Chains A and B, each alone.
Chain A
Amino acid sequence: MRVAVLLKAVPDLVEELVLDEESGSLQYDEMSYVPSEWDDQALEEALILKEESGAQVTAIAVSTGDVDTMLFTALAKGADHVVKITGDFDASMSNWQQARVLSDYVREQDFDMVLSGVQAIDDVDGQIPGLVAGFLNWPHASVVTEVRMGGDSKVLLRQEYSGGLVAEIEVESPVVIGVQAARKPPRYASVAKVRQVAKSVAIEEVSAGAPAGPAFADIQFVRPVAAGRAEMIEGDVDAVADRIVQILADHNLLRRA
């Protein structure tokens, strides 16, 4: 069983998102990037699968910036192989374009399963696993919390719905899976190990042509009204309770009562 795990880096929310307020464009060069947390979950689930059933795990990232550390970390954690898809790409590359490039690569290879984070904080134009599945025309399930091997190239999944319901799904490979959470918290790769891997193993580089333009040319970003210090609610207990109910109503948080 060959498993591909698609990884991507996203802007780090611990640092400021750098926005040109006038044009509404993100200043991609001025931001720091971290691996998307859901992709970490997808990698962990793939590694658990490897431990359980000897799957071969390949971690793949599009070179939208410095993705090497992310790939070396994947190796240090236990991935068998890492691939960086290079081309005329940068951090502003849309998900749609990344998914195109990734699906072109996956199609040529002989993968049985593709895992990736069910979502990422920056996917304005769709989630990577769904788009890749669509481009490949493979079946796809999102919000998955467990992936196991069944018999005869079958894969068993658990998919979660709101309200805590869970579906057990069986699917014949190949398949694309959007991972919500791995069965265990993502493992830690010690710095020494990552550095040692970086010295001794090479990342396979595959070059790709520029994909067709992004789906949307002119996305504008704006900051929602800033929070700052709390707005104080005045009045006695009854007045405050009434106001809080109103606030909950404004935020659509009431109906579940």
Chain B
Amino acid sequence: MQKAKAIELEIAVVDGVELNGTWNRMFEPRVISEYDLSVLEEITNIPGAESLGYCYQCGKCTAVCPVDSVGDYSPRKIFRRTQLGISLLDSPDLWLCTTCRNCLRVCPKEVNMIDIMPAVREQAVLEGKAPAELLTAFENTARYGNPIGESARKRADWTKTAGVPVPVMSQKKAPVDVLWFVECYPAYHPRGKEASAALARIFAALGVDFGILGTEEKCAGDSQRMAGERGLFEMLAEHNIKMLSKYRFNEIVVTDPHAYNAFLHEYPKLGGEWPVRHYTQFLAEKLAGVNFVKGIKKRITFHDPCYLGRHNGEYEAPRSLLRALPDVELVEMGHCKQTSYCCGGGGGGMWLDGFTRDYASERLSERRVKEAVEYGAEILAVSCPYEVPRFEDAVKSTGHDGQIQVMDIAELMAYCMGLNEGLAIS
């Protein structure tokens, strides 16, 4: 990373008083530093990025930033580098933050990376400075409604493997209680599809009156927004709001915490306001009516998704589901709940794997898997669709294949309900 130094002055004039090294000398003249703040101002003038200027270098954030634990990074360092004249717009720093929100939890000055990052990134995207991998994900999303670049027409194909009817709203032509917003990875990624099928079976077993948008659904777009493509986010949101508005339902249930975040905070600003719950919240309330027929004699630990936990304060629902599974021993990792670690997929990280590698000693997902193993977990339970692929990959790359399995809570729950015979728990 680029190194920069402050300007060193021989004499400084402060309020008309001349200061040089001699009067504050201890053992040697102290260097008087001066900064050219034009670069910092260029950044803090971007609407949304103002709070970067509040930093007073206490360093609390450095201690909790997951990216710093695998590299050289934190809001404090970003402020410092910008103060020294390295523009965040040109720095790789701009793309490393996963918007996990851990720094905001501890920052006394409320330096808010959750606002700073999308704002500055948007500017960088406009100036053609975004990494190519990310742009591919944007282009795919704009064209196909999903970042993976899969056929828009096949968005509902996963339902064929569910084994239970999954009603599509445009065909059902009747109001439903629950509009299930499925999202992209659950609709297309092979492991995501397995979790979706499990969830569909749970819904069916619980007699939930539900429907999906099918091919009328597009990516909720929240991660694209955090990664700097606000216009794309708005286009997707307008589309989804228009589609949702065609139908009658009592609430939206989402598979994806990123979509949850969007429906909770962003869609209402664009006129799309509905009650929304994450599927773990929805199921937690229905636990009393669930008939478990099988247990899992395993140590299970849970990884809090940043956008369910820290961003939106839900720590309990997923845990109550896991605790309800017969025979399960739930263990907490050191980093859990408010202090949970990040899988690395948020804020566009899902589409920056190749870019990030050059600035990190290891992937955040790899760190997290090692932590889970350290705590003796045999199953790492997750509830965000980014995480099964990320962690399964990390299990292999850290050499823990066969030691720990990664599973969505929906898969585990369906298993204990006798609805997931295919799931191989080893």
Minimum distance in angstroms from A189 CB to a CB of chain B: 10
Instruction: List the B side residues contacting A187 at CB < 8 Å.
Output: 128
CA of A15 to CA of B151, assembled, Å: 5
- B235-A191 in contact (CB<8A): yes
Q: Of B70-78, B130-138, B332-340, which stretch is located at the interface?
A: B130-138
Q: Which residues of B contact A32 (CB under 8 A)?
A: 152-153
Cβ–Cβ < 8 Å partners of B132 in chain A: 185
Q: Which residues, 178 to 226 on A, are CB-close (under 8 Å) to B?
A: 185, 187-188, 190-195
Closest to B153 in A: A15
Contact B125 A188 (CB under 8 A): yes
> Do the beta carbons of A190 and B150 come within 8 Å of each other?
no
A34 interfacial by beta-carbon distance below 8 Å: yes
State how many residues of chain A have any CB contact under 8 Å with chain B.
15
Which residues of B have CB within 8 Å of A191? 138, 142, 229, 231-232, 234-235
**Would A190 and B229 be within 8 Å (CB), given that A14-B144, A34-B143, A195-B235 are in contact?**
yes
Chain B: number of interface residues, binned into ranges: 20 to 34
CB distance from A86 to the nearest CB of B (A): 24
Chain B interface, DSSP helix/strand/loop, else mixed: helix
Q: In the complex, A195→B235 CA distance in Å?
A: 9
Contact with B along A11-38 (1 / 0, CB 8 A): 0101110000000000000001010000
Interface residue ranges of B70-128 to A (CB < 8 Å): 122, 125-126, 128
Q: How far is the CA of A191 from the CA of B143 in the complex (A)?
A: 11
B352 to chain A, nearest CB (A): 15
Contact A14 B149 (CB under 8 A): yes
Contact between chains at A193 and B152 (CB < 8 Å)? no
B residues at A contact (CB < 8 Å): 122, 125-126, 128, 130, 132, 135, 138-139, 142-144, 149-153, 229-232, 234-235
Q: 3 shortest A-B CB distances, which residue pairs?
A: A192-B231, A191-B231, A191-B232
Residues of A near any B CB (own CB < 8 A): 12, 14-16, 32, 34, 185, 187-188, 190-195
Task: List 8 additional A-B contacts (Cβ < 8 Å) besides A14-B144, A191-B231, A195-B235.
Answer: A34-B143, A188-B139, A190-B125, A190-B229, A190-B231, A191-B232, A194-B231, A195-B231
